[in-house]
Amino acid sequence: MVLLSLVATHSNVDLETVARLSVGAPQVPSAVLAEDRSVTGAVVLATCNRFEIYAEAPSEEDVEAARSAIVSTISAYSGIPEQSVSASFETHTGQDVAEHLFAVGAGLDSAVIGEREIAGQVRRALIEAQGSGAASGGLVRLFQAASRTAKDVGAQTALGSRGRSIVSVALELAGDLSEDPDWSGKSVVLFGTGAYAGATMAALRDRGCTDVAVFSSSGRADAFVATRGGAALTAADLPGAMRRADVVIGCSGSDARIDAADIERVRAGSDTPLVIIDLALSHDFDPAVANLDGVELITLESVRAAAPDEQADALAQAGDLVRGAARSFEEQQTTRAMNAAIVALRQHTQTVLDAEMERVRAQHGCTAAAEEVEFALRRMVRQLLHVPTVRARELAAEGRQDEYAAALEALYGIDLSPAAPTASVAPAAAGHAAPTADAPHAGHAHPEGAVCPVDHERPARSA
């Protein structure tokens, strides 16, 4: 199995394109899996400034087909031509897949370096994929490793103690733009009830802000404030709350964008300055609100520009942790792949041994001599497999696993492709189960079907 990822973030495309690509994001994994066999698993990571798809393909030869299937599906949901979709994504394979996701989860690829929210979003992305049945074993291991790496970066570097986040930087900007930086006396209206709205509510509470009203076009405001505090707004309450507000924060990303004319109308006659913070990727507010008198607009682009640079030593340490974790993960993936080759070789030799022992028993019956022969053959097989097993591990560490697989096919006719049998040797007699090369038989069948009563440990020699 081979992992790949398609990445569109604030680093390589504009946020408007990221928002357009993200349309239908939750449906992409299931749709791709249902329509194309070149993809065996998929997880989508969609946040306020990135849209990334992690996938697993059966083999290296399937990677391009898998990428094409994902691009086609995103095009169908977003309405963007396939060529444009393809050009918007960077593609990662091999160790780059893990290194990028681990950096993302640790907050090293965020608009605010070291932000904390993204680690939770990585965890939720995996949970959602598992819930829909789209997460393959390889992707589960990848995302779990990303979460462990994020914890290590937080615990072992100074980034974890800074507590920076997109929300915290946005609120700092809002405080700087306000006549009074004290949040305890501010009236806030919050749009949305998702993860960022929850993080925003927590950040406001930490700053002493208690006057927070929450509006949700989907009707989830009551449930949201029941666990996080604040007051739920109805559509009828919204204009009055907007008129009184000192700060309005958008985290919903809904299709109903609030126009500059709407803000101007509800704020008519108010002489209170207003700061609008738009943290939604698809924008909750028309950018033209920035042109209104008495209104300041803070967007994700504003946050990215204002985000402080972190200390070089902390970033270097975090980068080393990420790269080391990615190397370790890739080595583990390679080892798992080599395990399949080792098992195939053992099954091959076991099949040969079992077939030979059937011929011995057919001629000599279940005798002590036959058991002596079997013991000797099994010991010889273990010795013969020792060096190929050790070399498999060594070649895997050197990234030469393809050479090992090619050698097995050339020498023994063992084909490791997923749909092929593991050996070209004829199976043992019907009804004879093939144990592993390292395990003794539990009992052999005579031609008449009776179980051989001889103990299959090494037989005692006669004095």
User: Cα(322)–Cα(318) distance, rounded to whole angstroms?
Assistant: 6
Phi and psi, residue 211, nearest 5°: -95, 80
Catalytic residue numbers read 48
**How many of the other CB atoms lie within 10 Å of CB of 127?**
13
Pairing of strands 231-233, 211-215: parallel
What is d(CA 428, CA 445) in angstroms, rounded to the nearest whole number? 12
Chain-centre distance for alpha carbon 116:
17
Q: Residues 6 or more apart from 218 whose CB is under 8 A from it?
A: 193, 254
- Shortest CA distance to 274 belongs to which of 298, 308, 304, 238? 298
C-beta atoms surrounding 255 within 10 Å: 7
Tell me the residue type at 303.
Answer: V
| CA within 13 Å, CB half, 3 | 26
List, as residue ranges, the binding site for NADP(+).
192-197
Strands (E), 287-395: 295-299
Residue 120 contacts residue 127 (beta carbons within 8 Å): no
Local structure of 172: helix, strand or coil: helix
What is the 3-state secondary structure of 241-299? HHHHCCEEEECCCCCCCECHHHHHHHCCCCCCCEEEEECCCCCCECHHHHHCCCEEEEE
Q: Which residues are annotated as a binding site for substrate?
A: 47-50, 110, 115-117, 121
Identity of the amino acid at 416: L
Amino acid at 225: V
285 contacts: CB under 8 Å, gap ≥ 6 = 248, 250, 257, 258, 263, 276, 278, 297
Side chain identity at residue 66, one-letter code: A
- How many Cα neighbours within 13 Å face the side chain of 295? 28
